[in-house]
Structure 1
Amino acid sequence: MNKAVFLDRDGVINEVKTKRVKFVNHPDQFHFLEKVPEALKLLDQSGFKLFVVTNQGGVGLGYLSKQELGKIHDYMMNEIQRLTGVEIEEVACCIHKPHEGCTCRKPEPGMINDLAKKYAIDIAKSYMIGDRVMDIEAGKKAGCQTVLISNRPRVDFEVDFIYPSLYEAATFITKSGK
């Protein structure tokens, strides 16, 4: 069985709600957060399969089309490959409207569970990394170790680890030997 890191997209991999970017609705609005390519390379070199699991309710709400979302993800994956040689195995998206009641939208673990089954992932040796409680809840429900990307040292929900950046989280994960 394989080990994996499941990554939320907005706020973990790329900027969102910053001075430069409000939402990512076009590839030209996609900007990596600091040292994200290096973090992905560390994880890949440590034998983790990498997946992106992202809620993209903007599609269901009509802010962008499935095709536009696909172009954003193609751009992201191509840039990661170009910068690092790392391949993201798959990007899983929930494009339903918020509160639609689907089983794929985080905090439900549907996307993680589906990927784990498809790629023979050992969930107990895997991590979910996100920047919001819904990411952490999805990881917990799936049975992953969870990492919150936050500058706050404590939060009022259960999370296994907190780091201020994906790079710092990747450094910890790769040194933990899991």
Structure 2
Amino acid sequence: MMQKCAFFDRDGVINKDLGYVYKQTDFIFCDGIFELLSTLKAQGYLLLVMTNQSGIARGYYTQEQLERLHQYMQQCLIEKIGFGFDRIYFCPHSPEANCACRKPKIGMIEAACRDFSI
């Protein structure tokens, strides 16, 4: 059976886009995101994040720093609404890398389709 799924960009959708956000102090949830996630979860949606994170390739922050921020985001969600995202996909490459995973290409969506029945 196929599962309903909602895809979320991160910066500007989940959190305020302050430019290359990787520190907890710069991570501010957008208005309405808790209610939206709660509504979708109650309707049986799988909740996935798809985010370009070229700050890694540019040397602004490391993949480890990004993963720590995502753990913080997930913990905040669990504390606030009782659950987090089902999976977070990210592209660490620069636009010049011309990789298959950087949005608007569909590599992260293809990975999600392999990982889940959506």
| TM-score category, normalised to shorter length | over 0.9
Preserved CA contact (<8 Å) 1:10 1:16: yes
Letter of the 1:16 counterpart: D
Q: 2:11 aligns to what SS in structure 1?
A: coil
Distance 2:104 2:5 in 1: 19
- Residue 80, structure 1, aligned to residue 77, structure 2: yes
Match of 2:34 in 1: 37
Indicate the residue corresponding to 2:6 in structure 1. Answer: 5
- CA distance in 2 between counterparts of 1:104 and 1:23 reads 18
**Unmatched 5+ residue regions in structure 2?**
none
Aligned Cα root-mean-square deviation (Å): 1.0
Please say if residues 54 and 94 of structure 1, whose CA atoms lie closer than 8 Å, have aligned partners that are also in contact: yes
TM-score computed with the length of structure 1 as normaliser: 0.63
Alignment of 1:11-22 (within 5 A): 11-17=12-18, 22=19
Counterpart-to-counterpart distance in 1, 2:31 and 2:94: 30
Task: Report whether the alignment pairs 1:100 with 2:101.
Answer: no
The unaligned stretches of length 5 or more in structure 1 are 122-178
Identity within the alignment, %: 36
Alignment partner of 2:45 out of 45, 48, 58: 48
Quick check: which has more Rg, 1 or 2?
1
Q: Relative contact order (alpha carbons < 8 A, sep ≥ 6): 1 or 2 greater? A: 2
Tell me the TM-score normalized by structure 2. Answer: 0.94
Displaced runs of 4 or more, over 2 A: none
Shift of 1:28: 1.6
Number of residue pairs aligned between Structure 1 and Structure 2: 117
